[in-house]
Structure 1
Amino acid sequence: MSPAQEARSAPAGAPAGAAGAPDGAPDRLTGSLSLTSVVTFGLAYMAPSLVMVIFGVIAAASAGTAPTAFLVATSAMFLTALSYAKMARHIPAAGSAYSYARRLIGSPAGFLVGWAVLLDYLFLPMVAWLVQSLYLHAQFPAVPVWAWLLINIGLTTAVNIVGLTLTDRVNKVLTGLAVFLVLLFVAYCLVHLSGHPPTSYTAPLWNADSALGGVSAAAAIAAYSYLGFDAVTTLSEEARDARRTIPRAVVLVISIGGLLFAAVAYVMQLVHPGGVFDDPQIVSYTMSVEVGGQTFADWTNIAAIAGGFASGLAVQLSSSRLLHIMGRDGVLPKRVFGALNTRTGTPVLCLVLTGAVGLVGLDLSLETATSFINFGAFLGFTAVNACVVVYYVRHRAAGLGSGPATLFGYVVVPLLGAGVTVYLTTRLSPVALTIGCCWLAAGFAYLLWLTRGFRRPTPSLAADAAADLA
């Protein structure tokens, strides 16, 4: 039995001690998250109310076919989701893309993938907290944005430090509330449509102004909304029967989230046909006023606020897990990042660090904050698709098989997924690409120092890798 399996067999909530751990401190994450809990974390990460926030932008870019753009984006990201599901089944490790690349492509490649993904995971909590703070400031303008940012960082960090059980419960309540309010908004839209029937029920899917280029461009924008479906793989060591739970959760998160986005966008597109708006960024608010009145519109903001807090919890949780795994491997300073609290079994120092990074958002605009995090995400997606192909090459003679179905699932699908993510990377702004490349160059320099010019091996858990490659 591997160390990861021993950890998962421990009683729920009890830290798993390990040989050599100082003072009985655990060095393995433990937990007993159910499939429902893991899926809820993934949906919280994606934020169910996000479709309402970005609907106007997607509808304008697609000439009034927002649901089609979301369906195209869902299909495209589903290809990569299948690759994550395969890797999570074969390598149930909490390091996600970092662990997969390290164990299949090599430790140096894994390090660079982990370093690139770190850009996304380190700063995405900051973006989640900043968005949440902007919404709260709009609802309660007497409190400045910086104060809301401090409150959000403090609350989510405190909940995550207390332990996974509390985080799971809070996340379920808030995500459930967010989904309920989104569905309530849809119900109000349907009631409005009963008195103002649309001229066409197919126009939101395709109309006279539609063009393939416009829909694909809108789908590329919409694809950014799906960032986070992969984050559930960072919970592999804290899920029950991870080899089954995590792959199923990845597919369910992208499927449920994508269908929800497309369905809500379809109803909103019926209420407001076409892609011309006075201000595409506040369409959900003006539409809420139209279908339910001013008071209802104010309440719909609660969906974004509740979803934003749940998203902050989920994002910080997954970010701290990646930092911990890299610290446990010795890629980052082990005494700081590899330590787990003896009472809660959580990586407290990693959680505090992500909270401290969030303070950078005090001096950043939302546009600047979001401009560079996608670079790491898309590089990680591409690497995971490549890992599936490498896994096939290594294991086709050892029981995996080489029939048409296996070839399609382990070669064709991941290559298509990689093509999509490479295309999305090219759609990033010059600022995002510049920052991403500089970050990657800094990681390569750190790798050179860490290995003394590759004269030393890149830190890794070789025994763990051999045990988990089943």
Structure 2
Amino acid sequence: MSEPSGTSELKRHLGVFDAVVIGLGSMIGAGIFAALAPAAGAAGSGLLLGLALAAVVAYCNAMSSVRLAARYPASGGTYVYGRERLGEFWGYLADWAFVAGKTASCAAMALTVGSYVWPGQAHAVAVAAVVALTAVNYVGLQKSAWLIRVIVAVVLAVLAAVVVAAATSGDADAALGIGDDATFGGVLQAAGLLFFAFAGYARIATLGEEVRDPARTIPRAIPLALGIALVVYAAVAVAVLLVLGPQGLADATAPLSDAARAAGADWLAPVVRVGAAAPALGSLLALILGVSRTTLAMARDHHLPHALAAVHPKFQVPHRAELVVGAVVAILAATTDVRGAIGFSSFGVLAYYAIANASAWTLAPDEGRPARIVPVVGLAGCLVLAFALPASSVISGAAVLAAGAAAYAVRRAVTARTG
């Protein structure tokens, strides 16, 4: 059966550089400005250990995603991988976790923009940001990639300034060793919180249908983006710990601004404020891209209304999916709390990557299977970090996954009755 008009294939026009930038725009975003303080509150002086643990899990997930994306270079990411390797239900559940978790993450990023730009009107600014970036996405991915490139450059410059100010400060003498305040459970929870900031590298895989020569581009772009992000995160974490110490970092409401002041660079604080809003916009932009592409893949398989599979004939984007995603995110940004959105998103993201690792385990050697330990560590790490999150996040996340499974069962039952 031929596809309805307007559901043609997406245009492949992203090279390695643009793919890396989109991955960086997803990772080096508001997470580095917001996640350090709660992670320090959970792990204390074990923060760097939590960062290392999050990095190990992220690396395993990246390697599994690389192999799968090269094998299945289509929009949808783990939705496609789970469906092809584990069965339709697991692909559906991955998509459900991704769309639910990342939609909440979109709202969190939008609210972060609002809280930095105009704290008294954070919700209004958040909604305006969602509307503006949905419009940018609607007119074409290349324009979105150009904007992300600018935002990433600004953020890297701001973070570099904070690191230099902290490293050259006479007060940069706090201990970086692990003290009695660090517990195993706290380190795990910190790793789960910090993983939230790393998770964007797979955005490259969800854009697989729009990447030139995906079998070569995606395996190169994902490790490059992840490696750059890891170096940046480690440098910033060490610099902030040097001037604030674990307890000072845990108590900070704006850790990078506080670190700049503690380092004697008061002039840098307002720059950091702008630098926090910019990456939040970059993350929001990339998140909307990823969620809309996963929605496109799900709609193509009729797990969502097939009308959402339409691709705009001029702009070559899934325009209906983008409009629906933008509308839902705008509603959440107007009504929800940023902390609840981040906790819920973390659980969904880890569930999504758990299915990716399970899918990678099933690859045969001639299909480019990674070393067996990679998906094993990735899967175990995702599950451990997910259930180490605060109880409210675990309960709400598990409830949403259960609701998704129930919806799938109902749909299958209805389809069986109607033939």
The TM-score with structure 2 as length reference comes to 0.91
Residues in 2 aligned to 1:428 and 1:457: alpha-carbon distance in whole angstroms: 42
Amino acid at match of 1:280: A
Residues in 2 aligned to 1:86 and 1:134: alpha-carbon distance in whole angstroms: 39
Following superposition, the deviation at residue 152 of structure 1 comes to 0.2
CA change 1:197–1:174 in 2 (3 A) is closer
Matched, 1:153 2:153: no
CA change 1:126–1:333 in 2 (3 A) is same
**Which of residues 408, 411, 418 in structure 2 aligns to 1:447?**
408
Following superposition, the deviation at residue 96 of structure 1 comes to 0.6
Residues in 1 aligned to 2:367 and 2:2: alpha-carbon distance in whole angstroms: 36
CA change 1:384–1:352 in 2 (3 A) is same
Matched, 1:437 2:398: yes
Residues in 2 aligned to 1:370 and 1:95: alpha-carbon distance in whole angstroms: 22
**Which of residues 55, 67, 72 in structure 2 aligns to 1:86?**
67
Matched, 1:339 2:320: no
CA change 1:55–1:106 in 2 (3 A) is closer
Deviations 1:292-322 (CA, angstroms, capped at 9, x unpaired) = 5443211111111111111111000111100
**Which of residues 201, 224, 229 in structure 2 aligns to 1:257?**
229
**Which of residues 172, 179, 185 in structure 1 aligns to 2:156?**
179
SS at match of 1:76: helix
CA change 1:225–1:277 in 2 (3 A) is closer
Following superposition, the deviation at residue 455 of structure 1 comes to 3.1
Following superposition, the deviation at residue 277 of structure 1 comes to 5.3
Partner of 1:103: 84
Partner of 1:67: 48
Map residues 190-205 of structure 1 onto 2, 5 A cutoff.
Answer: 190-192=167-169, 195-196=170-171, 198=173, 203-205=175-177
Partner of 2:247: 275
User: Does structure 2 conserve the Cα–Cα contact (< 8 Å) formed by 1:26 and 1:345?
Assistant: no
CA change 1:356–1:52 in 2 (3 A) is closer
Paired residues in the alignment total: 418
SS at match of 1:28: coil
Residues in 1 aligned to 2:250 and 2:47: alpha-carbon distance in whole angstroms: 17
Residues in 1 aligned to 2:146 and 2:237: alpha-carbon distance in whole angstroms: 29
CA change 1:59–1:435 in 2 (3 A) is closer
Residues in 1 aligned to 2:386 and 2:14: alpha-carbon distance in whole angstroms: 33
Residues in 2 aligned to 1:53 and 1:206: alpha-carbon distance in whole angstroms: 22
Following superposition, the deviation at residue 172 of structure 1 comes to 0.4
Following superposition, the deviation at residue 338 of structure 1 comes to 0.6
**Which of residues 161, 166, 186 in structure 2 aligns to 1:189?**
166
Partner of 2:140: 163
User: Does structure 2 conserve the Cα–Cα contact (< 8 Å) formed by 1:88 and 1:233?
Assistant: yes
Residues in 1 aligned to 2:367 and 2:98: alpha-carbon distance in whole angstroms: 29
Deviations 1:332-377 (CA, angstroms, capped at 9, x unpaired) = 1112x11011111111111111111122221211122223222321
Unaligned 5+ runs, structure 2: none
Deviations 1:33-66 (CA, angstroms, capped at 9, x unpaired) = 1111111111111234532433333334333343
Structure 1 range deviating more: 105-114 or 258-267: 105-114
CA change 1:457–1:342 in 2 (3 A) is farther
Residues in 2 aligned to 1:278 and 1:356: alpha-carbon distance in whole angstroms: 35
Map residues 132-151 of structure 1 onto 2, 5 A cutoff.
Answer: 132-138=113-119, 141=120, 144-151=121-128
CA change 1:449–1:283 in 2 (3 A) is closer
User: Does structure 2 conserve the Cα–Cα contact (< 8 Å) formed by 1:161 and 1:344?
Assistant: yes
Deviations 1:217-273 (CA, angstroms, capped at 9, x unpaired) = 433332222222222211101111111211222222222212211111112222233
CA change 1:217–1:369 in 2 (3 A) is closer
SS at match of 2:304: coil
Residues in 2 aligned to 1:457 and 1:255: alpha-carbon distance in whole angstroms: 50
Partner of 1:125: 106
Tell me how large the CA RMSD over aligned residues is: 2.5
Deviations 1:382-439 (CA, angstroms, capped at 9, x unpaired) = 11111111123xxx4xx469xxxx7xx3422211111111101212333333333332
Residues in 2 aligned to 1:26 and 1:151: alpha-carbon distance in whole angstroms: 29
Structure 1 range deviating more: 223-232 or 287-296: 287-296
CA change 1:293–1:108 in 2 (3 A) is closer
**Which of residues 355, 362, 368 in structure 1 aligns to 2:326?**
355
User: Does structure 2 conserve the Cα–Cα contact (< 8 Å) formed by 1:55 and 1:284?
Assistant: no
Following superposition, the deviation at residue 207 of structure 1 comes to 5.2
Amino acid at match of 2:289: L
Amino acid at match of 1:239: V
Following superposition, the deviation at residue 162 of structure 1 comes to 0.8
SS at match of 2:313: coil
> Percent same amino acid at aligned positions?
25
Matched, 1:307 2:262: no
Matched, 1:220 2:206: no
Structure 1 range deviating more: 251-260 or 301-310: 251-260
Runs (4+) of structure 1 moved beyond 6 Å?
A: none
**Which of residues 394, 400, 422 in structure 1 aligns to 2:383?**
422
Amino acid at match of 2:321: C
Larger helix fraction of residues: 2
Unaligned 5+ runs, structure 1: 1-18, 459-470
Residues in 2 aligned to 1:210 and 1:435: alpha-carbon distance in whole angstroms: 27
SS at match of 2:382: helix
User: Does structure 2 conserve the Cα–Cα contact (< 8 Å) formed by 1:101 and 1:384?
Assistant: yes
Partner of 2:2: 20
Structure 1 range deviating more: 320-329 or 105-114: 105-114
